Chain A
């Protein structure tokens, strides 16, 4: 069975540009999460979808970040406009209903210059 996939694996953009990250969860997983690790810090929670609904977006840093999960399948995370401090690794994870185990994707490494 395929794991969580993320695209792109790397992205280098300039400050002020827009970037869209994509996550495809494991098939059948209703729960989808976004996390971020900035350099030198711990992995931090951004938000949680249950199917297409945002269940918890308490970790979103500001309104430059927009996450969507249309149709309850894949999800996108858009950063517009990107700032230098947005650089880091963005992980997506998914889990089945009522499960504690979250399966992580390989991450997207975002560099904002």
Chain B
């Protein structure tokens, strides 16, 4: 069973649309959760951390459901520049290693 599972997509949405990505994680002891963004052939970059109470950063909202071991990312008012792969990431509870999902591909079209 994979540590982190995501719907690979692709998600094709028009500009201005709202899109949601989900992921599940297997280790119930996990404490730290993140969304990273990766552009084509580039390195992953931290988009936002995910907190238990949910958190928002501009057009981006992240939610965590510990009981279901489920993490989500909502993007409102999509921009062309949001086109990328979004990686759900969970830190190992016992160390610093990051466990990555395979990523969800988003394409925002004019």
Within the assembled complex, what's the spacing in Å between the Cα atoms of A44 and B100? 7
Chain A CB within 8 A of B57 CB: no
Within the assembled complex, what's the spacing in Å between the Cα atoms of A104 and B36? 11
Residue pair A104, B96 in contact (C-beta under 8 Å): no
Partner of A48, one of B32, B95, B103: B95
- Known interface pairs A42-B102, A100-B32, A100-B49; A31-B96 also in contact (CB < 8 Å): yes
Residue pair A55, B4 in contact (C-beta under 8 Å): no
- Known interface pairs A91-B44, A100-B32; A42-B101 also in contact (CB < 8 Å): yes
Which residues of chain A come closer than 8 Å to B101, judged between CB atoms?
Answer: 42
Partner of B97, one of A42, A45, A91: A45
Partner of A59, one of B4, B42, B97: B97
Output the nearest chain B residue to A109 by Cβ-Cβ distance.
Answer: B41
Residue pair A104, B102 in contact (C-beta under 8 Å): no
Which positions 55-113 of chain A face chain B at CB distance < 8 Å?
Answer: 55-56, 58-59, 91, 95, 100-107
How many B residues, CB 8 Å from partner? Answer: 22
Partner of B43, one of A33, A41, A56, A105: A105
Most chain A beta-carbon contacts within 10 A, residue among B95, B98, B102, B103: B98
Interface residues on A, range: 20 to 34
Which residues of chain B come closer than 8 Å to A12, judged between CB atoms?
Answer: none
Residue pair A45, B44 in contact (C-beta under 8 Å): no
CB distance from B5 to the nearest CB of A (A): 9
Partner of A100, one of B45, B91, B100: B91
Interface mask (B8-26 → A, CB under 8 Å = 1, otherwise 0): 0000000000000000000
Residue pair B32, A58 in contact (C-beta under 8 Å): no
Chain A CB within 8 A of B64 CB: no
Within the assembled complex, what's the spacing in Å between the Cα atoms of A35 and B89? 13
Which residues of chain A come closer than 8 Å to B96, judged between CB atoms?
Answer: 31, 33, 48, 55-56, 95, 102
Chain A CB within 8 A of B46 CB: yes
Q: What 4 A-B pairs are tightest by C-beta distance, nearest first?
A: A104-B43, A45-B97, A43-B100, A42-B102
Residues of B within 8 A of A (CB): 2, 4, 32, 34, 42-46, 49, 87, 91-92, 95-103
